[in-house]
Amino acid sequence: MDRVNLEKYQASMMMVLSLFKQGIIDEKDYKKSESFLAKKYCINKDNLYRLNNLICTPERVINICEESKGICYAN
């Protein structure tokens, strides 16, 4: 893995994530884009630096919002 490729992958994914958050692309397109960019920049599937939304699920205790108290621990 080359550091330059990793930086290009991360920068490209920030653009894709921005499009996803704005609602321009859906989850299916987001996943396709992530897979395409990882392949393009030679980022292996099990690479530590590859984006993984499985660890940021809203069901995790740390991401639970207490609306009654106005406290939110999520991003």
State the pLDDT at residue 55.
47
34-73 per-position pLDDT tens digit: 999 999 999 888 777 776 554 455 555 555 555 555 544 4
What is the domain count for the chain? 1
Whether 13 has a pLDDT exceeding 80, the answer reads: yes
Q: Put residue 47 in one of left, alpha, beta given phi > 0 → left and psi -120 to 50 → alpha.
A: beta
For residue 61, give its domain range: 3-72
Gap between the Cα atoms of 52 and 17, Å rounded: 12
